[in-house]
Amino acid sequence: MDYDVIIIGGGPAGLTAGIYASRARLKTLLIESYSVACQAVTTDHIENYPGFPEGINGFELIEKFKKQAEKFGTEFIVSEVKSIKENKPGWQVITDDKSYSSRAVIIASGASPKKLNISGEDKFRGKGVSYCATCDGALFKDKEVVVIGGGDTALEEALFLTKFAKKVTVVHRRDALRGTKILQERAFSNKKIEFVWDAVISEITGVAKVSAVKVKNVKTGAETELLCGGVFIFVGYAPNTGFLKDALPLDEGGYITTDDNCLTSKPGIFACGDCRKKLLKQVITACGDGALAAFACQHYFESKA
């Protein structure tokens, strides 16, 4: 076997698993995706992670995690995992340029923003349509933008966009927000943010780039046009588990089901973080998952000795 354990994913869950596995003196490889950035990296300000009362930039926090994992011996490569196959007594992880063997695998592949799948969304991606305000917000200085969604991420990103945009309109399909109360309070008190309730976006329009969206009232069916220079979509996340379709059973949403110790239905495969079916998806719960998965992996090896 090349490694004791291979970790798939370089977010908080995967990096914490790397710290714990390496400290247990397990030979550990972490495979980071080059096409999918972890959600924490693209978060401008994380204020609910303990130990940082003033908050911390997501990229900075992840870099601290990575340095800590490297310090204890975690090896890193950047590649795309294509599949996992059984390779008794362990597993084979196949990437786009090589394959690696290990006694166990910890999947921490995270989740990516969901698409609306409406007309104009794909056409104008990168031309006004974005899924990351931290990445693209500065491109919309003094413009009017639309944010779609009503949860924590939508509110955080709407607040961030007020640093650049002239006006931010939040379109939400319900008549009340789902986000944390403190974020709601900040959004309602920000003079740059307006709300359109009980509404969805039915189409994104423009020529070379976004110029407007069509807004449909879900109760009356009436459609109106809202002029804007950008559309930011935050309507939930889908797990990055497509590479597992032949290796593990997934639930109806594509999430991995595990027991309380992050063990999947296949012995030697563990899952942690946002790719796992669970109630709360936050940096702190991802870290807890990563520690638990690595510790459970260590006990799995001891039970086989």
Q: Residue 276's closest CA among 4, 267, 161, 265?
A: 265
- 297 catalytic residue (yes or no): no
- 287 catalytic residue (yes or no): no
Residue tagged active-site, from 122, 135, 251, 259:
135
Distances in whole angstroms, Cα of residue 164 to Cα of each of 47, 222, 272: 21, 31, 35
Q: Residue 273's closest CA among 54, 93, 164, 258?
A: 258
> In the structure encoding, which two tokens stand for residue 235, read together?
């309507």
> In the structure encoding, which two tokens stand for residue 50, read together?
């303990």
Residue tagged active-site, from 4, 38, 44, 136:
136
205 - beta bridge partners?
Answer: 212
Alpha carbon distance 69, 14 (integer Å): 10
| φ, ψ of residue 48 in degrees (nearest 5) | -115, 15
Torsional sign, CA 245, 250, 256, 259 = negative
- 272 catalytic residue (yes or no): no
Residue tagged active-site, from 4, 38, 44, 132:
132
The owner of tokens 């490694």 is 3
* Catalytic residue positions, numbered: 132, 135-136
